[in-house]
Chains A and B, each alone.
Chain A
């Protein structure tokens, strides 16, 4: 690991100031991602700015009935937070599945959203791919069983690694961001970026000197939500595919889906909103048949790579089961 300077920031402003630096400066939260990248020589910052003592680590109620989650909050605390579980069950469901207890005890909300891709080409120094300034994506002709099945126009074919980003997007969260020129709020849906040749070395709109300080969740309203992850191993592993579904219900029986948010994880370079599935759900009764239809609709536009067509079937299942989950129907 390259030797680096260490700054232990104690306030948001101090942290942001420390990031403005002639050289590479990176924020350090739980370190579950950053330290591994540094040890593997994927990133070699000159300065590391600890933000754990600088950012809010609590959950507070917002005036409109939503919640504001501090960027330094530990994933374990998020998973165990009663208000979060009550208002945004899919967030709690996603949090509790992340990595392992050790990882959840260290990892933070801000770090989880901003973690870099887990593509095995990116993570091994030998492969100088687009994400590392190279000029190819090794996954295209290589081992792509865990890569994208949506948004596959390139240049990079990663799947976005964050488990939390998916439910945050589904619940319509905004991210509060602070930079040297002040703060801004960005809708989660606008935060993550599809790769282009210009921006491929990043996964979101955050500038180098900016920090994600808070996740702001609007009042959930009259919704039912569901979350379903398909995992090969029970822990210490990544989901193959997962889905969060948020359904606004209405109608005389209260069981008609007025509108839906369907967001898929581990299938695209960004948390992937499936308009097709949302359209398929609108106006339908909430039941198993509708769930299956939505699953079918969700995969219609999938464009798998050479070795990951199996993820289409898994996506179908994840969407269907997340909806059944929201409906309170038992699933496998």
Chain B
């Protein structure tokens, strides 16, 4: 699904249930935009399963948490 691709949530690394706004809007980055400021991540994440910013285990839904062998993680 094209609209579910995101550089922040990588299939195979992060849980397939992790969501953020960028996955749901159809944006195109401007090639020169990166000249104006450095990388940063202001993103708010949520878990599609709980519909909250926490996963089914009650812990935060964030790329650094939603990967690896977390029990609720879906790959």
The reply, when asked whether chain A contacts chain B directly with Cβ atoms under 8 A, is: no
Q: Which residues of A contact B (CB under 8 A)?
A: none
